[in-house]
Chain A
Amino acid sequence: MLEALFADSGPDVAHRGWPRTPVGPDSWRAIGEALREGKLDLLGLWGDIGAVQCVLYEPATRQIMSASLDARAGKVPSLAPFHPPASRLERSASDLFGIEFTGLPDPRPWLDHGRWPVQHPLAESPRPGAALPPYRFLEAEGPSLHQIAVGPVHAGIIEPGHFRFTASGETIVRLEERLGYTHKGIDRLLCGKSIEEAARLAARVSGDSTVAYSLVFARAVEAALEFDPPPRALWLRAVMAELERIANHLGDVGAVCNDAAFSMMHAECGILREQTLRACATAFGHRLMMDCVVPGGVAVDLEPAGVAAILSLTASLRGQFPELVELYENTASLQDRTVGTGVVSSALAAQFAAPGYVGRASGRSFDARICVPYPPYDAAPLEIAVRSEGDVDARVWVRIQEIQHSIGWLERSLATLPAGPVRSGIRAVPATSVEGAALVEGFRGDVLGYARLGAGRRIERCHLRDPSWLLWPLLEAAIEGNIVADFPLCNKSFNCSYSGHDL
């Protein structure tokens, strides 16, 4: 299927991890058709100097492939009319590169709020910034509708973003998100950086997924330079990734219950999360394990004391977590809030290639560790946790199961960790531009990384796509018809990243 689409296109370029094919506008539209028919998933789409690039996944064959289209004329056909998930991705590429997507149904700016000193900051010749007209929210018409505007500063200690609710009484008729408040210009900051400098930036795209981001960046760079890290490093990276997953899932399970006014679970899960972070600090020297995964391997080796700390953590979790799961399952007032709330249909989850627990709670059986496995998961597979209900409850259950799977995986893996070095220098100096891409499973879903290195191994272009890009629009769909008071609950069950999305 993938090959057939590109049959009449140019030869593959030096792109590693998976192939990239430069295509013409006709093939680009053919991609749109295949996306519309549901034969392909769109994993990402971003701009480049004079080009746009998209990443496609074919569920039937579990193949990934990139396609790029010449955009030097300044205009390219939009994929959004074929495939709505492309819309925000194209709006962002348009904001950053000034590329015009012809036929894009929603041409409003997305990341650009009219406050930057430049317009199209990543274009070859950016223009001076200009104030934009006020953002027009989509309309909802009907008798006795009212609007509720929330954010960008929220009531809790969370990231900033704006939500515009239109409600009929207590029932939400429409939610529209307005994001971009945490846009830090990461894509442009990455340009021209050394691999080491860029790795520190990648680790700070979304702090809760710092291991996943460091990992996807490292893997993309290593793919580009055809470098294999030492085996022990591969295992330690996965140990960190699973610890990160456990810590975040524990936090989320507690926070979802807290938003259903069941604060006891929040307190109990908070204790387990803190124990996890402390084990991480003992094992790897940092509570969130920031900058611990680096291109070439890992920055710190795991000493016997660290192994003991992790095993003592898993023993503690095995002792305490099942009781909390039982409590979750047997508390009728809690179940009353989570069951049947915020449903994402399996059709929407499939259309948006919904990453992580949101997709898996709606029957999308995709997990990068299993479907497009990378070491060490190819040698030590995990079970995939899938449910079909698509509600808040299902998203909690997927997390519960993943915590349990990760505990088992950690215990098995720590018993058989290979010995040897954990880092080696990458010596390859490419003569020409080289590109690499990778997909890794973070706690929130698959994180996609693309890196192109040029002379002196400096970054020419690097883009890191957060799973939240494909999750935020689904939150709008999930909340429709629910009551306003259930929004925090639904939102927490998604736990999308603002920073990872806004970049």
Chain B
Amino acid sequence: MRRRLFKNLITAPCTEAVSEPTDGFEAAGEELRGAIARRLGRSLAIREVDAGSCNGCELEIHALSNAFYDIERFGIRFVASPRHADVLLVTGPVTLNMREALERTWAAMPAPKWVIAAGDCGAGCGVFAGSYACVGAVSKVLPVDLVIRGCPPTPVQLLQGLLWLMSGADNAAAPAVMS
């Protein structure tokens, strides 16, 4: 293990070594850090809730934390408790079996708070439209501030969405849609 740790000390971080697929990620992230500081004066805490997704969105949200994207360097953290969260990030076509758990998670969050619906299912039920078991878009259950489309949205799309939310005007009546 020591050998590996020493090796990592002298190799450049992945976040700098890769440029092409993360185009714009670095710049957007730095801008986002500034926007969060102006808005909250501290880091941004996100609580993620899977409201019936296929798990595809979760895989890409997870990827935001890997060494290539390393979203924590911009002052963004995923937290375990809704009590600690500023943003509720929701995926999935909101199944009827998950609706109450989602509402209770939202109710447990202190204001100011925002809702992001991520993925085509969260945006508008996706391929599951018309099912007896789904409510549909997250906006049918919670006051959504931002929709990030994609099936699933890539890590870069997710970060750009967060940037928009933090630098945008106060909550508008209708959710903004990014695709």
Whether B59 contacts A155 by the Cβ 8 Å rule is: no
**In the complex, which residue of chain A has the Cβ closest to the Cβ of B128?**
A184
What per-residue 1/0 map shows which CB atoms of A166-184 lie under 8 Å from chain B?
0000000000000011111
Whether A160 contacts B98 by the Cβ 8 Å rule is: yes
Count of CB-CB pairs between chains A and B under 8 Å: 144
Whether B49 contacts A185 by the Cβ 8 Å rule is: no
Give A117 to B131 CA distance when docked, in angstroms: 10
Known: A271-B67, A288-B152. A115 touches B53 (CB 8 A): no
Whether B95 contacts A188 by the Cβ 8 Å rule is: no
With both chains docked as a complex, state the minimum distance between the C-beta of A500 and any C-beta of chain B, in angstroms: 8
Give A325 to B127 CA distance when docked, in angstroms: 40
**In the complex, which residue of chain A has the Cβ closest to the Cβ of B108?**
A153
Whether B21 contacts A499 by the Cβ 8 Å rule is: no
Dominant secondary structure of chain B at its interface with chain A: mixed
B151 at the A interface (CB under 8 A)? yes
Known: A158-B50, A189-B130, A207-B152. A281 touches B21 (CB 8 A): yes
Whether B63 contacts A277 by the Cβ 8 Å rule is: yes
With both chains docked as a complex, state the minimum distance between the C-beta of B64 and any C-beta of chain A, in angstroms: 9
Whether A153 contacts B59 by the Cβ 8 Å rule is: no
With both chains docked as a complex, state the minimum distance between the C-beta of A441 and any C-beta of chain B, in angstroms: 19
Whether A208 contacts B98 by the Cβ 8 Å rule is: no
Give A278 to B60 CA distance when docked, in angstroms: 12
B52: which of A184, A188, A273, A327 is its contact (CB, 8 Å)? A184
Residues in chain A near residue B60, CB distance under 8 A? 287
Residues in B53-71 with C-beta less than 8 Å from chain A: 53-63, 65-68
A113: which of B21, B54, B97, B130 is its contact (CB, 8 Å)? B97
Whether A157 contacts B68 by the Cβ 8 Å rule is: no
**In the complex, which residue of chain B has the Cβ closest to the Cβ of A112?**
B97
A159: which of B58, B93, B105, B131 is its contact (CB, 8 Å)? B58
Whether B132 contacts A116 by the Cβ 8 Å rule is: yes
**In the complex, which residue of chain A has the Cβ closest to the Cβ of B60?**
A287
Whether A204 contacts B67 by the Cβ 8 Å rule is: no
Whether B55 contacts A116 by the Cβ 8 Å rule is: no
Residues in chain A near residue B51, CB distance under 8 A? 160
Chain A, interface residues (CB within 8 Å), range: 35 or more
With both chains docked as a complex, state the minimum distance between the C-beta of B103 and any C-beta of chain A, in angstroms: 11
Whether B96 contacts A115 by the Cβ 8 Å rule is: yes
Chain B, interface residues (CB within 8 Å), range: 35 or more
A327: which of B4, B93, B151 is its contact (CB, 8 Å)? B4
Known: A157-B78, A183-B97, A204-B126. A290 touches B1 (CB 8 A): no
Residues in chain A near residue B167, CB distance under 8 A? none
A497 at the B interface (CB under 8 A)? yes
Whether B67 contacts A267 by the Cβ 8 Å rule is: yes
A118 at the B interface (CB under 8 A)? yes
Whether B50 contacts A160 by the Cβ 8 Å rule is: yes
B40 at the A interface (CB under 8 A)? no
B48 at the A interface (CB under 8 A)? yes
Whether B98 contacts A499 by the Cβ 8 Å rule is: no
B151: which of A113, A121, A189, A290 is its contact (CB, 8 Å)? A290
B95: which of A183, A268, A290, A323 is its contact (CB, 8 Å)? A183
Give chain B's interface residues, CB within 8 Å of chain A: 1, 4-5, 14, 21, 48-63, 65-68, 78, 80-81, 92-93, 95-101, 105, 126-128, 130-134, 151-152, 154
A-B contact pairs, 18 of them (CB 8 A): A113-B97, A115-B97, A116-B133, A117-B132, A121-B132, A153-B101, A158-B50, A160-B98, A182-B50, A184-B133, A189-B127, A189-B128, A207-B58, A208-B55, A208-B56, A251-B62, A271-B68, A327-B4
Which 5 A/B pairs are nearest by Cβ-Cβ distance? A207-B56, A185-B133, A155-B80, A270-B66, A185-B131
